[in-house]
Structure 1
Amino acid sequence: LKAGLVALAFTLVAGREAGMVAGAAAFLGHCYPLWLGFKGGKGVATYAGLLLFITPLHGLVVGAPVWLGMFALTRISSLSALTAAVAVPPGAYLLGERSPIILGGLAALSVLVFWTHRANIARLLNGTEPRFGSKKKDAAEG
């Protein structure tokens, strides 16, 4: 929500492209906060908030359904987030987005979501990434 509100404020004052840049800065601040030694979150909810305020069509028609669909199939939050991150930039283009700043921002944030999920990707490849609702013992057993 914080990136979304920052993006919305900049959008209202200076346009969608400025909102995207401001939202991306908030995303980076969430993932790499100075006061926490650059160790923050993974940025998925921050990215979702940005989508809802800057490109709501892309968030609601592409991002959310892809995340929900993958989660319904796998019950793995990280895989759902990664799948949605892959889908949003081309989905935005297919839905008519033509701003290079918006498309480039979406692509860059999607790449950063993969970067922040490196450990999750390793667990996915090893088959040890936990599913929602599973106990740690169950996740370790596969």
Structure 2
Amino acid sequence: MNTNPVTFREATIHDLDRIVFMLSDDVLGNTRELYKNPLPESYIKAFQSINSDPNNELIVACYSEEIVGIQQITFTPYLTHQGGWRATIEGVRIASSERGKGVGTMLIQWAIQRAKERGCRMVQLSTDKKRPEALNFYEKLGFKASHEGLKLHL
């Protein structure tokens, strides 16, 4: 068991290889991600877009220098809810060696606190229906399955 405290920071371009590895080290991720060396240019361009957008944050959870968790938070203004802002959490992954040890809980709680700091009225996320354990995890953290979500892949 790791005795170092978990710390959180914004990802840098130097973290991208580890991030893509973690995204692909997953039952669903290994069918949609392409982890190879060198990384495909599409990941670098996406990172640069996220990094240059003040309403997007790519956050890593670390034990010392080792990245053990990731998430992207997007802050969006809405006209609904009286013009309030929302935070959307996406791309959450915990290193397979660290799952079930509380890192995911700390990562999501960090995102909720960050949303409060940014003045958001709501935090939202989605999880694939093929991940019932993830749905249970988020519900334990206070999230409610209050809406039906739809996607159209292009």
TM beyond 0.5: no
> Scaled by the length of structure 2, what TM-score is found?
0.27
- Between Structure 1 and Structure 2, the one with more strand by share is 2
TM-score (norm 1): 0.28
